[in-house]
Amino acid sequence: MRDAYIVTSVRTPGCRRNKGAFRDTRPEDLLSFILDSAMQQTKNLAKKDVDDVMIGCSFPEAEQGLNIGRVASQMAGFPVEVTGATVNRFCSSGLEAIALASLRVMAGWSDVTIGGGVESMTYVPMGGSIPRPHPEFSKTQADNYISMGLTAENVANRYDISREQQDEFAYNSQKKAAAAKAGKKYTEIVPTPAVRFNKKEDGTFQKETFIQDFDDGIRESTTLEGLTKLRPAFSATGSVTAGNSSQMTDGAAATIIACEEKVKELGLKPVAKLKYYTTAGCRPDEMGVGPLYAIPKLLKLANVELKDVGVFEINEAFASQALYCTRELGIDLAKVNLNGGAIALGHPLGCTGAKLCATLMANMKSTGARYGVESMCIGGGMGAAALFERCE
């Protein structure tokens, strides 16, 4: 197999569902912008050189339906010959898209591809607009449709993750993110045009475009005391709150992948190679434990030891599951989510896998780590994990 080189990996900021900067910006606009930005940042590569654009999306309907991978790549100005697809594996969709796009390059079927992700949780709610669980199956196997918040409660209860531990983890995520924002560490963010509608005196609205260049879910003012006071969000007697859960978010991200011949021919400067990607299944009612199975499976495949991984991006769907997985695996938290995670930065479902890839690439560059691992849990009871090796 050939190598799949990650040439460029970028993201829009992540902005709060309904309350944030992208609440009036359509997902196609976010995605087409970031696809075009990835191309602009890749000198010498022409849009016609890209073979296919694969885009992760967890709820591909309404504004982000109709094969948004194709629609947004056409909006971004790719020629009609460049194809597009939408990929869904819920929270790992963006990473799944990058892995599928990389496999095309590895197999020799394509020389250059793009993998990415998009989710507007403002435009399309989690669960979709018209959820319709199967009537008989859902009676006997209700856990397949369980609320994600309850799975986080199950992990906390079954594996003794206390409210205090969850709040402390959430506090650290917020503090790391606040420091990274102040220190301008998010080099993977591309300042992104957003839309707002201003009400005029005559009652009509005027459309205005502005540039959003930061993740607006970060709460610099977070204190442990403030987190302790929040009421449980999913169960009256529970420990999972709005403060120690991932935020619902809008965003998009894109990664350009190329084979070695193209890298050499065009003089591209790849950041890393995608070495391995895998998924592992677990009980749906504790889907948050997914990384606990996916990461060891990945490292075994790759024949790489945990201690040799320099940086991790592990999605903070909930503090309870992120803490449990890292604790059981014996991962040093100092290597995890260096600039904060989804508790502070948000979790735009189908975009997250692509967003975390962009962040991991930036962190592998800044730390010089040889190996980086990206992982997340997935609704329905799964985990996904990918191993990247930095290019010298």
Ligand X SMILES: CC(C)(COP(=O)(O)OP(=O)(O)OC[C@H]1O[C@@H](n2cnc3c(N)ncnc32)[C@H](O)[C@@H]1OP(=O)(O)O)[C@@H](O)C(=O)NCCC(=O)NCCS
Taking CB under 6 A as the rule, does residue 182 contact ligand X? no
Q: Binders of ligand X among 334-353, rule CB under 6 A? A: 347
Q: Least distance from C-beta 121 to ligand X, angstroms?
A: 8
Instruction: Return the residue of 219, 275, 327, 365 that touches ligand X, per CB under 6 A.
Output: 219
Site string for ligand X, 152-181 (x = CB under 6 A): ----------------------x-------
Taking CB under 6 A as the rule, does residue 127 contact ligand X? no
Taking CB under 6 A as the rule, does residue 243 contact ligand X? yes
Rounded to 10 degrees, the C-alpha dihedral 38/44/46/52 comes to: -60
Instruction: Return the residue of 68, 72, 91, 124 that touches ligand X, per CB under 6 A.
Output: 91
Q: Binders of ligand X among 18-57, rule CB under 6 A? A: none
Question: Between the CA of residue 120 and those of 18, 27, 58, 331, what are the distances in Å?
Answer: 10, 6, 10, 32
Q: Which is nearer to ligand X, 122 or 174 (CB)?
A: 174
Taking CB under 6 A as the rule, does residue 370 contact ligand X? no
Taking CB under 6 A as the rule, does residue 230 contact ligand X? yes
**Catalytic residue list contains 91:** yes
* Choice among 15, 57, 259, 377 that is catalytic: 377
Q: Least distance from C-beta 316 to ligand X, angstroms?
A: 9
The total of other beta-carbon atoms located within 10 Å of residue 209's CB is: 10
* Choice among 15, 57, 91, 325 that is catalytic: 91
Residue facing ligand X at closest CB distance: 148
Q: Binders of ligand X among 298-327, rule CB under 6 A? A: 317
* Choice among 15, 282, 347, 357 that is catalytic: 347
Q: Is there a contact between 52 and 114 (Cβ–Cβ < 8 Å)?
A: yes
Instruction: Return the residue of 127, 128, 226, 310 that touches ligand X, per CB under 6 A.
Output: 226
Alpha-carbon span 137 to 127, nearest angstrom: 17
Instruction: Return the residue of 227, 274, 295, 309 that touches ligand X, per CB under 6 A.
Output: 227
Alpha-carbon span 79 to 272, nearest angstrom: 27
**Catalytic residue list contains 377:** yes
Site string for ligand X, 244-263 (x = CB under 6 A): -xxxx---------------
Interface with ligand X: number of residues (CB under 6 A):
19
Residue span binding ligand X (CB under 6 A) among the ranges 110-118, 223-231, 250-258, 273-281: 223-231
Residue span binding ligand X (CB under 6 A) among the ranges 202-210, 242-250, 259-267, 271-279: 242-250
**Catalytic residue list contains 325:** no
Bridge partners of 386? 277, 374
Q: Is there a contact between 117 and 86 (Cβ–Cβ < 8 Å)?
A: no
Q: How many CA atoms lie within 13 A of 125 on its CB side?
A: 5
Taking CB under 6 A as the rule, does residue 233 contact ligand X? yes
Alpha-carbon span 78 to 83, nearest angstrom: 9
Instruction: Return the residue of 14, 84, 341, 379 that touches ligand X, per CB under 6 A.
Output: 379
Q: Least distance from C-beta 67 to ligand X, angstroms?
A: 23
Residue span binding ligand X (CB under 6 A) among the ranges 62-70, 218-226, 299-307, 382-390: 218-226
Could you give the residue numbers annotated as active site? 91, 347, 377
Footprint of ligand X (CB under 6 A): 91, 148-149, 174, 219, 222, 226-227, 230, 233, 242-243, 245-248, 317, 347, 379
